[in-house]
Amino acid sequence: MLVDYVVNASLYTLKLSKALVKFMEALCSSSLVEKIELFDGSDDAYGGVVVEMKEPMDSELFASVLRASLLQWTQQQGFRYHHAEPSYLMLVKWIPRTSDTLPPNASHRVGIGALVLNDEGQVLVVQEKSGIFKGTGVWKFPTGVVEEGEELHEAAIREVKEEAGIEAEFLEVLAFSQSLNSFFGKSDLFFVCMLRPLSLNIQKQDSEIEAARWIPLEEYTAQPFIQKHEQFKLIANVCLEKTRNKYTGFTAVPTTSAFSTERNQLYLHKKDLNSLN
């Protein structure tokens, strides 16, 4: 069983995290708690306490009250810091007399790469103004990170629109990879998506994109960078095989699960859909 304390707040997340770490290391004396007013909270269904902040509070006062509240909760209950998000801070306590198996906070970032192929056999490519590809001259697919509450196919469509101004329709997930500890200690799940362009006039994103254009897919795959790196070469070969109708990706099928009534996407081989229905 897991018990948690949640402090709902909309500001000071980064400052709070640093202050909390410093505070927990210093372990201020309990006399501090007696001098500072604590947050009031209400019990939740799991034996935790939810603190709602309904009025604005000065940042310095907020930090002081939170420090004192955390100390009080920790001394009384033995809670530990778990993670913080822009809207809350979570403390947790493992109740059973067994090893704590509570999973850590999110361990993966999810990204997409978009293969946008037009009727002329040309692929949409960009050159970036920053990052590892800056100044390399390498043409790459539009890429980006899936936002919270966003489906894979939605992220692919959005990134293509943002980076190149191209309206597109999602078709398939062609492949995906997992890279461990690749992004600030987090692992990366990267999905290669195929899209059909609904417009052709490129309007690049000036803040992030140095150049954008349509080039033959063969020209993209022949780049020395693509041929030199195994994973990029494999992805390029998958794209080539797809254009030759020798490869089938995963199509998004709207569905619901036992855990939520909201519609989500299940990715399946399109050619097998009729036999599964």
Q: Which residues are registered as beta bridge partners of 179?
A: 188
Q: Which two tokens stand for residue 275?
A: 């036999």
Catalytic annotation present for 162: yes
Give the residues across from 127 on adjacent strands.
211
132/154 Cα distance (integer angstroms) = 25
Given 52, 85, 148, 162, the catalytic residue: 162
One-letter identity of residue 234: L
Residue (of 115, 127, 120, 154) closest to 232 by Cα position: 115
Query: Tokens at residue 122, please?
Result: 């040309």
Q: For the chain, where are the alpha helices, taking DSSP H only? A: 13-26, 31-35, 59-77, 152-164, 217-221, 224-228, 230-243, 273-276
CA distance 3 to 94: 7
By the 8 A CB rule, do 116 and 195 touch?
A: yes
Q: List CB contacts of 117: < 8 A, sequence separation 6 or more.
A: 123, 124, 194, 195, 196, 197, 217, 239, 243
Residues β-bridged to residue 232? none
Residues serving a catalytic function are: 162
